[in-house]
Amino acid sequence: MEPAEVLERVDQYMNAGKDLAEKLVQRTPTLRAKGRTDIAHKSAMLFFFAKAYKTYQALHVLLSAGFEEDGLILVRSLYEIMLQCRYMAEDPERHAQQFLKFDPVSTWRWYEKLCRANPRFAQSLAPESLGDLERTKVLYDRYSSEFPKTGHHWWGMSLASLAKHVDQGTGESPTYGWYVGAYHQYSEMVHSGVTSAKGYLLKGVHATYVACYPRFTQKAAMPAQDATLYFIDVVGLASEALGVDLKCELKRALEEYGRLSAVRAT
C-alpha cells in the first residue's frame, strides 16, 4: 500500500470510532443517577469514556503524522481502559465503590514511599498536589485492608488475571488472547524493549539505517484497527451504563469495522 492508501485506511478506522463516540456525546447532555452508588458508577464510566476518547483522538493525530510506533503506546492504554470497563460492568455498584476507595489508599502508599525514598522532594511538594493528607490518611486507614500492598490496581489483580477474569463464563478467551498477543507488542514500545528496536534500526543490504523521523508503513493501519475494536467496546459499555440506547449505532460501527478488517486481510 502507498502512504496515501495507508492514511486513508487509518482515517476509515478512526472515523468509525469517532462517529460512534459523538453519538454518545450528543445524547448524554446531563448525568442522571438514582443515588450515591449509581452516581459513582456512572461517573467512573464517564471518566473511562472521556479518557478513551481523548486517547483515541490523540492516536489518530500520531498515526496521521507517521508516528506509528508511538501510536502503539496509546493502543495499550485503550486496551487497559476496555478491560476496566468490562470489569466495572460485572458488578457496577460494588466495583464503582472499589474504584473510588482505591484512590486514597494508592495516594497514601505513594506518599509514604516518596517520604522514604526522597524526603526532601516530598517536603517540597505543593499542598494542592497532595490534597488533604489528613483526610487521605483517615480514608487509607478505613479502606487499606481491602487492597493488598502488592497490588497496584484498583481491581486487585494483575492485568493478565483481569483479562482472564473478564473472559470467564463466555466460553471463549478473546480478551486474554489479545493480552498475550497484541499487548506484548504495545508493552515493548512502552518500555523500549529490545524487540521494539526493530522499528527504529532498519537493516539494509549494506548498512543499518536509523529511523528517527516519522514514516508511513503498511503496518500503520494495525494500531488503528486494534484501537477501534477496543474503543467501540468502551463506547458500548459506557452507553449501557449511562442508559443511552446506541444499539443500532454500535451495530453499524462493528459492521464497518468488519468490512475494513476484511479488506485489510485480503
Walk along the chain (266 residues) and give the pLDDT tens digit of each residue.
Answer: 788 999 999 999 999 999 999 999 999 877 676 777 789 999 999 999 999 999 999 999 999 999 999 999 999 999 999 999 999 999 999 999 999 999 999 999 999 999 999 999 888 886 666 778 889 999 999 999 999 887 789 999 999 999 999 998 777 778 999 999 999 889 999 999 998 998 899 888 888 889 899 988 888 899 999 999 999 999 999 999 999 999 999 999 999 999 999 875 54
Residue 261 lies in a domain: no
Residue 117 lies in a domain: no
Residue 46, classified by CB atoms within 10 Å of its CB into exposed (0-12), middle (13-18) or buried (19+), is middle
Residue 101 lies in a domain: no
Query: Quick one: which of 207, 222, 239, 211 has its CA closest to 53?
Result: 239
Total structural domains within the chain: 1
Q: Give me the pLDDT at residue 35, please.
A: 74
User: How distant is the alpha carbon of residue 183 from its chain centre?
Assistant: 11
Its pTM surpasses 0.85: yes
Query: Quick one: which of 67, 71, 70, 137 has its CA closest to 105?
Result: 137
C-alpha cell of residue 155: 481491581
| Cβ atoms of residues 87 and 165 within 8 Å | yes
Q: Give me the pLDDT at residue 126, please.
A: 64
Residue 146 lies in a domain: no
Q: What is the DSSP letter of 27?
A: T
Residue 68 lies in a domain: yes
Q: Where do we find the cell 486517547?
A: 55
From residue 140, alpha-carbon distances to 47, 146, 147 in Å are: 23, 10, 10
Domain of residue 10: give its range: 3-90+158-254
Residue 102 lies in a domain: no
Residue 125 lies in a domain: no
Residue 130 lies in a domain: no
Q: Give me the pLDDT at residue 33, please.
A: 66
Give the whole-angstrom CA distance, residue 74 versus residue 199.
Answer: 16
How many other C-beta atoms lie within 10 A of the C-beta of residue 129? 7
